Amino acid sequence: MLTGTIINAVTVIAGGAAGLIFKKKLSAKYEIIYFQTVGLFTLLLGVKMAINMSEPLPVILSLVAGGFIGIKLRLEERTERMGDCLKTLVRLKDERFTEGLIAGFLLFCTGSMTVLGAVEEGFGKTSDLLLTKSVMDFFSAIMLASALGAGVLFSAIPLLMFQGGITLAVYFTGKDIPPAVIDGITTVGGVMLMGLSINLLQLKKISVINLLPSLLFITAFILLKMLAT
């Protein structure tokens, strides 16, 4: 039942490991242009995910509410602390560990292929969509890990939890996820990826971690609207 998600997690780890090897061979004089390339690539993905936004108001409300809750819960501070503990546990010295972890989560878990593939697998139909996504994530992980380090490999953990959680929820409840919810999650994820790309391009520091609750808010807003109509 979770074959596609497990394979997806393995490809992220494999791609991330390949990216770390590439990073060690990348000379200092090429690092700036490479970071800029990764930043632009991430921006392109974010725009692609967010460009089909059908209803902007729930998206804006979700981002604002999510940002406020993220600050209230001190998500960035707590995530950094968790990342430091994880780094200590696995004996890593990586200044961008947490950034790589969050970047990987956003890149690998907030697209429509993630939700649609997990739903298909939950209904026992096919794992084809997740297997296709696995190939794409493998190459994305190479690029991302070579820029942001080992944290990208560890994004396989939230991928297993998020993607696998959707599959199990669909399997046990037998209920589909409305397309509007999938579109909303994809759009908010795309906006957050654009924020991440701005960080990578060093244009301005945006606290993307504090925006993570926005994914829950957009789901709630859309479901409430559907119930109201």
Domain map (residue ranges) of the chain: 3-24+32-228
Query: What pLDDT does residue 177 have?
Result: 86
Q: Give the separation between CA 148 and CA 127, rounded to whole angstroms.
A: 29
Residue 142, token pair as written in the block: 């190479």
Please say whether the beta carbons of 163 and 171 come within 8 A.
Answer: no
Q: Is 222 left (phi over 0), alpha (psi -120 to 50) or beta?
A: alpha
Residues near 38 by beta carbon (within 8 Å), at least 6 away in sequence: 143, 144, 146, 147, 148, 200
Residue type, 38: V
In single-letter form, the type of residue at position 203 comes to L
Q: Tell me the two tokens of residue 48.
A: 């692609």
Q: What is the pLDDT of residue 74?
A: 92
Q: What is the pLDDT of residue 18?
A: 93
Residue 73's φ and ψ, nearest 5 degrees, are -85, -5
- Say if residues 20 and 145 touch (Cβ distance below 8 Å): yes
Please, is 192 exposed, middle or buried when counting C-beta atoms within 10 Å of its C-beta (0-12, 13-18, 19+)? buried
Instruction: Give the residues of the chain that fall short of pLDDT 50.
Output: none
pLDDT value of position 132: 92
Q: Which two tokens stand for residue 9?
A: 């997690």
Residue 175: per-residue pLDDT:
84
